[in-house]
Amino acid sequence: MKILSIFVFLLCVGIVFSRSADVSVMLPLDTISNDGVLNNYDHLSWELDQLVSVGTDAVMTDCWWGIVQRGGENSYDFDAYVELTELVKSKGLNMQFVMSFHKCGGNVGDDCNIPLPDWVLEPARNADLLYKDQWGNVDEEYLSLSADNVKFVNGKTALNLYYNFMVAFSQSLSDYINDGTINEVQVGMGPAGELRYPSYPSDRWSFPGVGAFQCWDKYLLNSWVSYATAQGHAEWNSPPTDAGGYNSVPSDTEFFTVGYYSDYGVAFLTWYQDMIVQHGNDVLQQAQYAFMNFPELGFAAKIAGIHWWYDDGSHAAELTAGYYNVYGRSGYEPIEDMLRGYGSAFDFTCMELYTQDQPAYAKCDPEAVTEQIMGECDDNGTEFAGENALEFYDQYHYNMILEHSNKHNINRLTYLRLTDTLMDTNNLNTFAGFVYDMHNLN
């Protein structure tokens, strides 16, 4: 009774118990050059000082497969990443790394080109282990999930290669993991590092097209046929061919008007999502093995903020990306469940966007999809982290992030990204206010 009285008194006098979320800043994509050199050391050091001055908790950076192993399968060059981490540590900041098993170049905001290592890409091409659409277009941004269990590089699968990379990383930077400087690893699982199919590649797609299913390499085709046959439908021997093209709208297609809720559509979409969730599970399992000696290290996985066509019954753009999210069925709960099993955060990527600012014809609803996912994570106990999708510096967009964050549990917000524009005095002051607010959530 006495404790309750004290609590009521504190509320009456205006003392509020607040929650805190860490704020990280994503470093430039080319922080490390293609030949493995830390760029602009002195300027970066000054920028980090500015971030510290406004209360930033951490920085995040990509650890690029195409840079670290540019010299061959048995060659790992983490020297520049060690130098970077030492610099970050000297500022009193934490460091978060993305295991970037994808290509840089071609996505929104990409300003450099870092392809997959040649010794990976060439045998993958030859073995049909890259994602492919129904027209034969091949995507070279990330290996097909088919590669997870096919030996194509000196008797090794993609999962073997991911594991070896992460073990080498843990060995090279073990001191910084042990002392807590490196406190999180985000494990790349697809294009742009996101757990999804490359359904909207920039060279074939433009907003707000529905995208295209990416399951036409021979292994995924065989997997679908086997799945359909096991369901008693050997006649379902092809993925959908009536789903339009990359830049179609749902109403122009048969699949996204009626096909998606047919028996065939339900079976296909279930299989299509199950495959990407299994891929996430398998890659995270390799990460858990690789970092098993570092029990305090956190994990995260990035999920795309696909908000266009969210208010259409088909959720077409989500479906082609592998998120089977339609009325009566969450496309994100299977991912949340999988991530929670590994203690991994669900890192979602469109927290700053307002629905009212999106074009009505695209039936966008970034606020609703963010609320759906954050609410589910609250309910099922999955750790949630967030990012902004597009570059911004104004209070208006910070307010949208704060609105979501004050209503739901959030562990970390990663701001994309560190730029000269952010260092402008007015912009930095606005960012400082945002950091303060994230540290003092309702």
Catalytic residues: 194, 387
Given a contact cutoff of 8 angstroms between Cβ atoms, the answer to whether 148 and 158 are in contact is: yes
Distances (CA, A) of 49 to 56, 57, 87, 371, 421: 10, 12, 11, 34, 16
Q: Of 381, 305, 390, 314, nearest to 349 (Cα)?
A: 305
Rounded CA-CA distance 190/356 in Å is: 30
Maximum pairwise Cα distance, the chain: 73
Rounded CA-CA distance 291/280 in Å is: 16
Distances (CA, A) of 334 to 265, 321, 339, 408: 18, 15, 9, 20
Token readout for 70 is 């540019």
The DSSP bridge pattern shows strands 58-64 and 412-416 to be unpaired
Amino acid (one-letter) located at 59: V
Number of H helices, E strands in the chain: 14, 10
**Helices 395-407 + 425-438 axis angle, to 10:** 10
The DSSP bridge pattern shows strands 22-26 and 412-416 to be parallel
Token readout for 77 is 């060059």
Helix (H) or strand (E) holding 184: strand 182-187
DSSP 8-state secondary structure symbol assigned to residue 76? -
